[in-house]
A = this chain, B = another copy of it.
């Protein structure tokens, strides 16, 4: 990067958030009033007034290309495959030193797209590890990012000042930045996010099958089913994009998971109490340790 290019601090930055869904609008709520200006980019004409009325941005627009040209920080808060298209389309429009951060759940393909942009654009891959199964502007809330892990994947060529602006934003919304290589990120989130989604979907699919012959199954379903299956109600478009762009890691995770489940199944089938008890005890301990560590943050 040309040393004369100036990258401001967050309070002096014009931030453009592309996509006013749950993640984008929640980010707007946290940033508005603490940056020079927060602009939201929406897709539907009627969403301009809706977004401005919600109070999560200073102004909203349909014209992404016009606003990103002057932005100091552009945050892409759309589904992964939309992010890939927007990087190619909007990135080249940005001013020298403009920082382009995304919030997509699959980082290898996105960081490859960011690296393919002209040298003057400062790309940073990002992924906040939070969300909920309700989507859209109406579900957005201030404080959504508080205490969540926010993965950051700077490119080898990302300037320190550009990375600092991204990190300052993460700190400001009280998230915990975690630097990861894109491939490592993708493998880890396949394990703890994408696989749990596919597994929850498989569970609901199975119960739907049971319900075909005995609909009472829905009446006996309680908190165990509720929690185990919660993410299966997530936004399908968002999840489709994630699964398809992180396909290999998800397939590998799914196969390994089925292998582990089959070990437990076989111990049960063989009434191998000792082995089953040892496995389930170690599993319960690991799960409790994680919960304890998480709550101590």
Task: Please report whether the interface of chain A is mostly helix, strand, loop or mixed according to DSSP.
Answer: helix
A260 contacts chain B at the CB level, 8 A cutoff:
yes
The answer for the CA separation of A149 and B223 in the assembled complex, in Å, is 11
Write the nearest CB–CB distance from A252 to chain B, whole angstroms: 10
Question: Which residues 199-223 in A have Cβ within 8 Å of B in the complex?
Answer: 199-210, 214, 216-223
Chain B minimum-CB-distance residue to A271: B244
| Residue from the list B220, B230, B262, B269 in contact with A227, Cβ < 8 A | B230
Chain B minimum-CB-distance residue to A230: B227
How many chain A residues touch B (Cβ–Cβ < 8 Å)? 94
Asked whether A232 and B276 contact (CB < 8 A) given A223-B131, A265-B251, the answer is no
Q: Is the CB of A198 within 8 A of B288?
A: no
The answer for the CA separation of A236 and B274 in the assembled complex, in Å, is 12
Residue of A195, A251, A282 with most chain B CB atoms under a 10 A cut-off: A195
Q: Is the CB of B225 within 8 A of A228?
A: no
User: Given known contacts A187-B210, A205-B283, A244-B271, what 6 new A-B pairs fall within 8 Å (CB)?
Assistant: A178-B219, A188-B220, A205-B264, A207-B286, A228-B228, A243-B268
Q: List 18 A–B pairs whose Cβ atoms lie within 8 Å, in order of A's numbering.
A: A130-B222, A187-B210, A188-B217, A192-B225, A195-B206, A198-B264, A199-B203, A201-B264, A201-B280, A201-B284, A202-B260, A203-B260, A205-B264, A206-B256, A207-B286, A218-B290, A235-B284, A258-B258
